[in-house]
Structure 1
Amino acid sequence: MQFTFRLVTILLLPIFLLVPSCGEEVNPNYAEEIADPEFYHRSVKQLTDVIVHDIFSPPVAGRIYAYSSIAGYEALAAGSDDLGSLAGRITHLAPAPTPPQDATISYELAAIAAQHKVGKQLIFSEEKLETFFAELMADVKKIGVPKEVITNSINYGNAVADHIIAWSDGDLYKQTRTFPKYSITSDPSKWQPTPPDYMDGIEPSWAKVRPFTLTSPDQFTPAPPTPYSAEENSAWNEGVQIVYNALKVEDEAERAERIAIAKFWDCNPYVSHHVGHAMFATKKITPGGHWINIAAIASRVAEADFATAVEAYAKVAMAMHDGFIACWDEKYRSNLVRPETYIQENVDEDWAPLLQTPPFPEHTSGHSVVSRACAIVLTDLYGDDLSYADDSEVEYDLPVRNYTSFLQASEEAAISRLYGGIHYLPAITEGLIQGEQVGNHLLTTLGGKAVVSKK
């Protein structure tokens, strides 16, 4: 998919190309060089680094990725005959501003500017993104892009960003900041805060945030969790034992592999460590951040062009955002107790999960839902047999893991929650189903075809 620069004022063409501003060296091939998707990958990765630094919860991080990625997509689509706008396909999104007819614009550069500005609006550490963007623009200038093109492109990207920011203000996110906290009850089947920090339930009103393509947060309501029962031989306690014994396997290699899988897919943005009277935290990417990085990896492996890479980010981010809404709707409906709470009170007071339990109810598994939704979207774009090496966790001192498909990776991400001791099996299996439904609904709503997973 090729993009060209829109040169509307034909009579001025010789001036733009042959008479650069004083001291400016224009590269006649700058249009091809600025179309390298690595520029966009760098901008998205910097946003991920700031999201990690600022410690956003998984649902909030998903929202940041979604609006910033849509902004980049819409700015790029304005200059494309092939990449259609999302306006109308997302029913509540109005068309982006029309590009000025008398300006030479690099729509790739406009996409970067739009993605950057929306991302900066939604995070805390604005200066980190501002510094990065200045460095990125310095690299753009080194290519020999005319100053006027840079200015025009950034201006148009900013106009699209302002349009997306205004749209985002209507999704009820800001209002949910003032909604009531989760109320703890004495019902033993209901979620209670977990060690070590016993934090309040995160985002109990997230289902009220506006989705992109879902008709309602409960559109894909999963099967309910196993009925709670204190009876020793109940289905509930059978499920508890599966969690309790997940790492109690005789084969040491198998046990080591399960631990490796659990740690690789942990993706907990804030892990609290307590040593005596001291406390410190470890920051990591969220589940959505991990899949955004997989989108970058897939783009590079597939040698995708700029447009395909931008489309992948937008669709993956929208899928994760809708997935979090659907998942959180169920989480705070069933309000199910976590394995850590139940096992310590009823089975083994000394048991602890391998992973730190996240601060929200159990059913369904958020990582299972989001991983499957993102995998469905990436499968649609890049196929069901793209092999890749996932190095997303290398910077967090975890080794690369290899996959033969996105669906395989999503299944491993899901089962990691059992190995980590933080989810019962039904939350995982139903989470995969829910995520697949969300991902396919997004594809069909945007005009594509559903992906049939290989069971």
Structure 2
Amino acid sequence: MKRSIGQFCLLLSLVYTLKAQPTQAVLTSQQLATTWADMTVRIMTKAPKNTPTYGSRAIGYLGLCMYETVVYSSKRHKSVIRLLSDTLSLPKPVSGQTYYWELALNAGQAYLLKALYAYTEKTGPIDSLEMAIHQTYAAQLDPSIVDRSEQFGKAIAKKIYQWSISDGGHEGYLRNFPADYVRPAGTGVWVPPLVGQSNTKIPMHPTWGQNRTFAPRNSRLPLPKPLVYSTDTSSQYYQQYKEVFDRKKSLSPTDQAIVMWWGDDPTETCSPPGHSYNLATIAIRNSNVDLVKACETYARVGMAVADAFICCWKTKFTYMVERPSSFIHTTISPDKNKKPWLPFFLEPPFPSFYSGHAVQSAATATVLTELYGDAFSFTDNTHTNRAPYTYYSEEMILVKSASAQQPYYYPSLTTHTLPYEVRHYRSFWEAALECANSRLMGGIHTRHDNEVGLSEGKKIGQNINALRWH
């Protein structure tokens, strides 16, 4: 993430500028929030054992913490913590005392981000950013205000972190693929891919769906139903898997670029939750919003995405629906003499129904549309600094030779390169729909997976919006 690193370096250079010119404002309140979001995405990208499940949980708590550290600076906004847990209470500012909310946010984000990613042993950039911001503002304020503000932010972060320990996902990176998990067997049941994002035969975080949601209503959503398994060529099940099989044959370079843009492989990127968190940053930067609305944006997006993954994983591991590749291998194209069919995008290590990309993108679109409108045009720059994606395709070339008794075929490999170029959207929902469709084009989800994911994500986002924010 060169963009994030560049902004971090810019912040440090501005600190030195401030020392020379003490009265000069360095960061706006909005920029302070987005700078911490950039740092979060950077840490997620570089974290070992990165998973979309653990990443979604992280941005849920970080967004909530950001909001709760500044909410009392606004007469219009309200704390939402008691709507999430009626037994949890957070510190409140002392009446009549002065607080500098930017420093509260700074201290809170630094504490919580380090707590969530201490296992990486690469939290030095977090300390550096916290100190840079502290020095930026502390030089202009009464030391007692600085201390009071930072202690308040840390106190909020500590309480939220303590609450997080009991949610079922604490230290989830220690059990990405639990060795004691017994994979069920049966017709139409998920099996590990022949070639995928992981070599493990164990699915990722099979108990994640048992975790506590942020919005209690999201834990009570009924489970949607998968399609009924059938090998009948006229059945909806067969036709949907056949659509995936056929769609790969007609992928254009534009289709492939869309697949890779939304791929968000957690072994190489900030994963889908980080992508959504960056969309929140883009919305904030493109709008003239104050500090509290910026933090509200991160809180809504973070908690919506976190709940989306919990609800999605509950469904995935209730039904254990197979991926398109396994049905194609056994039913649509079972010829053992042919090279096995593989999706264009590497298959992730967990069941198919329903799409995690679709549900979290729809949840994100729902909350961002509520905050910024349904005709918000923007440019997604999440992957602009990634190296081009190179892949190879194989085709059989017919050779006719005078020396040979009959024509023969030999394999030929063609190299393809796909650059990561910014993508433009007229609304958040346009982006969500493209993200969902990319999974069908990538060969790893059916249309039903995507449509249900989009529908469930909208419900999840609406439940986050329904919290009494104002």
Task: Show the 5 A alignment for 1:354-373.
Answer: 354-373=344-363
Shift of 1:41: 1.3
Q: Partner of 1:123: helix, strand, or coil?
A: helix
Q: Partner of 1:165: helix, strand, or coil?
A: helix
Shift of 1:175: 9.0
Q: Partner of 1:173: helix, strand, or coil?
A: coil
Which structure 1 segments of 5+ residues have no match?
1-23, 271-282, 449-455
State the Cα deviation string for residues 282-337 of structure 1 (Å, max 9, x = none).
x1121111010000001111122221111100100000111111111110111001
**1:80 equivalent in alignment to 2:74:** yes
| Contact 1:248-1:255 within 8 A present in 2 as well | no
Task: Show the 5 A alignment for 1:105-124.
Answer: 105-124=99-118
Q: Partner of 2:379: helix, strand, or coil?
A: strand
- Counterparts of 2:77 and 2:154, CA distance in 1: 20
- Counterparts of 1:286 and 1:93, CA distance in 2: 32
**Which of these residues, 287, 291, 301, is aligned with residue 272 of structure 2?**
287
> What residue is the counterpart of 1:235 in the other structure?
236
Shift of 1:147: 6.3
> What residue is the counterpart of 1:390 in the other structure?
380
**Which of these residues, 417, 421, 432, is aligned with residue 454 of structure 2?**
432
Q: Partner of 1:389: helix, strand, or coil?
A: strand
Q: Partner of 1:246: helix, strand, or coil?
A: helix
**Which of these residues, 265, 270, 287, is aligned with residue 268 of structure 1?**
265
Task: Show the 5 A alignment for 1:159-178.
Answer: 159-174=155-170
Specify the code of the residue in structure 1 equivalent to 2:214: F
- Counterparts of 1:79 and 1:49, CA distance in 2: 28
Sequence identity percentage: 28
Greater alpha carbon shift after TM alignment, 259-268 vs 185-194? 185-194
Task: Show the 5 A alignment for 1:120-159.
Answer: 120-124=114-118, 128-142=122-136, 144-146=139-141, 148=143, 149-159=145-155
Q: Partner of 2:424: helix, strand, or coil?
A: strand
- Counterparts of 2:262 and 2:140, CA distance in 1: 41
Shift of 1:218: 5.1
Shift of the 165–190 alpha-carbon distance from structure 1 to 2, 3 Å rule, reads same
State the Cα deviation string for residues 326-377 of structure 1 (Å, max 9, x = none).
1111101110011122223333352111111111100000010000001100
Task: Show the 5 A alignment for 1:195-234.
Answer: 195-196=194-195, 197-215=199-217, 217=219, 219-222=221-224, 224-234=225-235
**1:40 equivalent in alignment to 2:42:** no
Specify the code of the residue in structure 1 equivalent to 2:76: D
Shift of the 164–142 alpha-carbon distance from structure 1 to 2, 3 Å rule, reads closer
- Counterparts of 2:194 and 2:39, CA distance in 1: 32
Shift of the 181–235 alpha-carbon distance from structure 1 to 2, 3 Å rule, reads farther
> What residue is the counterpart of 1:446 in the other structure?
468
- Counterparts of 2:123 and 2:36, CA distance in 1: 9
Shift of 1:139: 4.8
Greater alpha carbon shift after TM alignment, 400-409 vs 62-71? 62-71
Task: Show the 5 A alignment for 1:380-419.
Answer: 380-397=370-387, 398-419=420-441
| Contact 2:106-2:133 within 8 A present in 1 as well | no
> What residue is the counterpart of 2:317 in the other structure?
332
Shift of 1:86: 1.1
Q: How many pairs were matched up?
A: 406
Shift of the 399–305 alpha-carbon distance from structure 1 to 2, 3 Å rule, reads same
State the Cα deviation string for residues 225-257 of structure 1 (Å, max 9, x = none).
2211223333222111100111323xxxx7222
- Counterparts of 1:377 and 1:429, CA distance in 2: 18
**What RMSD over aligned residues (CA atoms) do the two structures have, in Å?**
2.5
Shift of the 99–26 alpha-carbon distance from structure 1 to 2, 3 Å rule, reads farther
| Contact 2:309-2:360 within 8 A present in 1 as well | yes
> What residue is the counterpart of 2:7 in the other structure?
none
Shift of 1:45: 1.4
Q: Partner of 1:336: helix, strand, or coil?
A: coil
> What residue is the counterpart of 1:71 in the other structure?
65
Shift of 1:56: 2.1
Shift of 1:393: 1.1
Shift of 1:447: 5.5
**1:315 equivalent in alignment to 2:322:** no
- Using the size of structure 2 for normalisation, the TM-score is 0.80
Specify the code of the residue in structure 2 equivalent to 1:200: I
| Contact 1:66-1:321 within 8 A present in 2 as well | yes
Q: Partner of 2:432: helix, strand, or coil?
A: helix
| Contact 1:74-1:160 within 8 A present in 2 as well | yes
Q: Partner of 1:84: helix, strand, or coil?
A: coil
| Contact 1:35-1:108 within 8 A present in 2 as well | no
**1:248 equivalent in alignment to 2:249:** yes
- Using the size of structure 1 for normalisation, the TM-score is 0.83
Specify the code of the residue in structure 2 equivalent to 1:202: M
